[in-house]
Amino acid sequence: MAPGALVESDSTLLAPTSGKLDIAPTLYAGVDEEQLREKSKAHLINYGTKFHDDVIIGSRGMYIYTASGHRILDWTSGQMSCLLGHGHPEIVKTIHDHAMYLDHLFSGMVCPPVISLGERLCKALPDGLDKAFFLSTGGESNEAAIKMAKVYTGKWEIVGLGASWHGMTAQALGAQYHFGRKGQGPTIPGQFMLPSPNAYRSEFRKPDGSYDWEAELDYGWRMIDLQSTGNLAACIVECIQSSGGMLVLPPGYLKAMKKHCEARGMLLIVDEAQTGVGRCGDFMAINHEDVVPDILTLSKTLGNGLPLSAVITSDEIDRVCTENGFLFYTTHVNDPLPAAVGDKVLEIVFRDNLVQHAREVGKVLHEGLQKLKSRYGCIGDVRGRGLMAGVEIVASRETKEPALELAKSIGDTAYKLGVWANLSSHPSFGGTFRIAPPITVTAEQIQEGLDMLEKAFAETEGTMPLY
């Protein structure tokens, strides 16, 4: 189904995904928002974030709806996951059919949707990514990948990048350096960090002022070698560090990283939780870099908002791990229902040529954001690729001093106007808006969001209009 087609999930609503909805989804219409807020405070644990004041009662296509009647253009695809938009009719039907006839099995059983997803996914990936298994979350898939690297190599030291985010489970958390490491005592032993590849802020510069990522990467590995006990098992990286502020690996960086890994007899793991399945204008970000990692992990986009993740590796790594007793047996490993959704997501992405669509519509997004940068001096940097973009807000382009309060004011105004772009106030994030709409978004909806975002800059004091 092409972007803009009619969608229908119940008898109360029929509307185009590319236009304004005349009525909001009615599943929770008429709720008492203030009462729900009080119940939320009374019964929900704080898991590290302040809840938004608005209670969300509906989602459809590109939009989410609040109990107070506010419609918001969702420029983060939920938690960067609803690749095809909310309530896609084919995804809804797949969920319905499998909830009715093939939902959950004993973990040692296999079924058609899991086999089909494995085949479709592996055939779309380069040689060397030959076999897959399926889990629930990105953290879980990275946990499994790290364990697999340790079992395969017989070694135990793991390298990650500064500003990385790989999940909340023990080994994944130990390899991430953006946020969340404090308060629980030691992480997994043998964890090392390379400098974050931040082209905008790195101190490694060539005489002409350009980013010298080669010198930075070589320096980082020299530091790792000094600390290592000779047990380097793997390095895990993201091609675009979304949680770290949409930091894009420079051209050639991933190839250089793989050479560093090969020289040390360690594996390269690439985490494509947010970049995978077309969002960046390539099926996988590794396709753009022309690099085949030893292990690839997917999550978020693969399940279109349902808990589904994947670990993909080579026949040889699978063979050795099997011989060495690799175990990652969970309640929901290779579950039929989410696997069926993932298989349907891939079918739609390929059938509707959505990778090319993301590349083309992404140009509209980035051109619009660059135009905003030319108009407002508080925008220090615009970066990203395809339908992933970061807009970093600064107090001064000369000093690059972060302007977190200004960024928050802009974000609050944009939200009130009707567009949601995630902004973290955490200092390591640098006051950067993260933009990642569903890849079914139309150029008209991108322009709609850009118009609201520009109005937010215009209405917020301190944005430093340049003309």
Determine the pLDDT at residue 123. Answer: 98
**Class of 92-351 in CATH:** alpha beta
pLDDT above 60 (res 21): no
| Adjacent-strand bridge partners of 194 | 161
Q: What pLDDT is stored for residue 428 in this prediction?
A: 60
* Res. 439: pLDDT tops 80: yes
Rounded average pLDDT over 278-305: 97
The tokens for 287 are 């396709």
Model confidence at 183, in pLDDT bands (50, 70, 90)?
A: confident
Supply the mean pLDDT for the chain. Answer: 91
Is residue 304 pLDDT above 50, yes or no? yes
Rounded Cα gap, residues 297 and 318, in angstroms: 14
pLDDT in tens, 43-70: 999 888 888 889 999 999 999 999 988 8
CATH says 1-10+59-80+353-467 is which class? alpha beta
Nearest partner of 246 among 160, 178, 191, 167, judged by Cα: 178
Q: If you average pLDDT over residues 171-180, what whole number do you get?
A: 84
Q: What pTM was computed for the model?
A: 0.92
pLDDT at 1 over 50: no
Q: State the Cα–Cα distance between residues 218 and 263, nearest whole angstrom.
A: 13
Residue with the bigger pLDDT between 21 and 327: it is 327
How confident is residue 27, by pLDDT bands cut at 50, 70 and 90? confident
From the list 373, 187, 289, 404, the residue with the least C-alpha distance to 175 is 187
Looking at per-residue pLDDT, the higher value among 170 and 330 belongs to 330
Instruction: Determine the pLDDT at residue 9.
Output: 35
Extents of the domains making up the chain? 1-10+59-80+353-467, 92-351
Q: What is the spatial distance between Cα 453 and Cα 420, in angstroms, rounded to a whole number?
A: 9
pLDDT 10s digits, 75-134: 999 999 999 999 999 999 999 999 999 999 999 999 999 999 999 999 999 999 999 999
Query: Annotated active-site positions, please?
Result: 165, 238, 271, 274, 300, 434
Which whole number is the average pLDDT over 203-222? 97
Question: How far apart, in Å, are the Cα atoms of 18 and each of 7, 369, 425, 447?
Answer: 10, 21, 31, 12
Amino acid in position 457 = F
Residues 387-409: what's their mean pLDDT?
94
